[in-house]
Amino acid sequence: MTSSLTDKQYNELIQARLKSPESFKKALVNRKRRKLIGKDGRLLIVAADHTARGIISAGNEKYIIANRRLLLDRLLLSLSNPNVDGVLASADIVEELAWLGALESKLVFGTMNRGGYLGTSWGLDDPMTAYDADSIAELGLDAGKVLVRFEDTDIGVGRTIEYVVEAMRLLAERKIVCLVEPLPYKKDTNGMPMLDKSTDRLDKIVSITAGFGSSASYTWLKLPSWTNHVTLRESTTLPILLLGGDPGENLDATFEEWRGALQIPNVIGLVAGRPLLYPFDNDVEKSVDRAARLVHVSGA
C-alpha cells in the first residue's frame, strides 16, 4: 500500500498539537463544505470512531487501529477517492484530518457517546463523552452520531436512551441530522455485554428507536447489514445507512449483504470502517473503491 502521509507531514502535525492548537479548529471551520445529499441520494462514509471506545483490533491484529499514523494514512487514502463522501470520527481524528487538508468538500459526522467503552461490565451506560450538539453546530459538522445498545436487564440502557434522546432533540433544534445506531446486546455468563445477532430482537428495537424524540425530521438510522430485509423495507421511512463491523476473512460476504440491502429504497449507503480501512487482504484502495462503486454505481 502506497503511503499517503509523509514523515514531514506527520512530524509537523505533532508539532502543531504543541505549538498551534488553534490551527486545528481553524482548519475544520474553514474547510470547503458540500451538500449533505448529492445527486444520486447515496452516501459512503468511512467510520473511524473506534479508538474512542477502546476498539483497537481488526482481523488478527489486536492493536492495529491504535497506530495513529497508520490510521491517518489509511483515512487519507480512503478520502482521496472522489466517491467517498466523508468520515465519521471523534474530535481528535476529525481535527487531524482537517489539518491535513483531507476534509475539503467532504462530510463530517461527529461521534457523540463513546464513554461505554469496550470490555467494561458497566459499558451499556454510554454517556456523551465526545462531541455534543453545541460543538457540532459551532464547528460546522454535518451530522452527529449516537449509539444505543439494547439489553434487557441493565439499567444503564435506560440512562443511555435518555442521553441519546436529548442529543437528538438538541441536534434537531439546530436542523442537524442525528444518526442513531441501535444494536441488540446480551450478557455472557460473566455479566459482560456482547453483541446479539438475533434478527428478531433487532426487528423490535428498530421500531423503538424510530420513535425516539419529539421529532424524527432529522433522524437517520445506522443498522447492521444482517438486519432482516423486511425490517429495512417495512419498519420505517427513515433514511438508513448500513454499518460494517469486522468481517475478518468474510469480506466478500459483507459486500454481498450490503449489495442486497442497498436495493431497498430508504437504505441510502454505508458507514463502514474496518472492512475498508483494515480489509483482510490489506488492500485498502481496492476495498474502498469496491464500496464506492457499490454505493454510487448501482449493482457494480
The C-alpha angle 65, 66, 69, rounded to 5 degrees, equals 85
Task: Give percent of the chain above pLDDT 70.
Answer: 98
pLDDT tops 70 at residue 3: no
The CATH number of the domain covering residues in 41-296: 3.20.20.70
Quote the CA–CA distance of 27 and 95 in Å, as a whole number. 8
Contact, 140 vs 28, CB < 8 A?
Answer: yes
**Exposed (0-12), middle (13-18) or buried (19+): which is 158, by Cβ within 10 Å?**
exposed
Per-residue confidence at 113, pLDDT binned at 50, 70, 90? very high
Backbone angles phi, psi at 23, to 5 degrees: -65, -25
d(CA 238, CA 220): 6
Q: To the nearest whole number, what is the mean pLDDT of the chain?
A: 94
Q: Domain ranges for the chain, please list them.
A: 41-296
pLDDT tens-digit series, residues 207-248: 999 999 999 999 999 999 889 999 999 999 999 999 988 888
Comparing 80 with 59, which gets the higher pLDDT?
A: 80
Q: What is the model's pLDDT at position 200?
A: 84
According to the model, what pLDDT value does residue 2 have? Answer: 59
Q: 3-class DSSP state for residue 267?
A: strand
Give the per-residue pLDDT at 203: 86
pLDDT number for residue 190: 92
pLDDT above 80 (res 300): no
pLDDT at 1: 54
Q: What is the pLDDT of residues 36-51, one digit of tens each?
A: 999 999 999 999 999 9
pLDDT at 155 over 70: yes
pLDDT, residue 199, reads 79
Average pLDDT value for residue range 110-117 = 94
Under 8 Å CB-to-CB from 282, ≥6 apart: which residues?
1
pLDDT digits (tens, 9 = 90+) for 179-205: 999 999 999 999 999 999 887 888 899
User: What pLDDT score was predicted for residue 117?
Assistant: 87
pLDDT score at 4? 81
The sign of the dihedral angle between the CA atoms of 289, 47, 225, 252 is: positive
Question: pLDDT category, 59, cuts 50, 70, 90?
Answer: confident
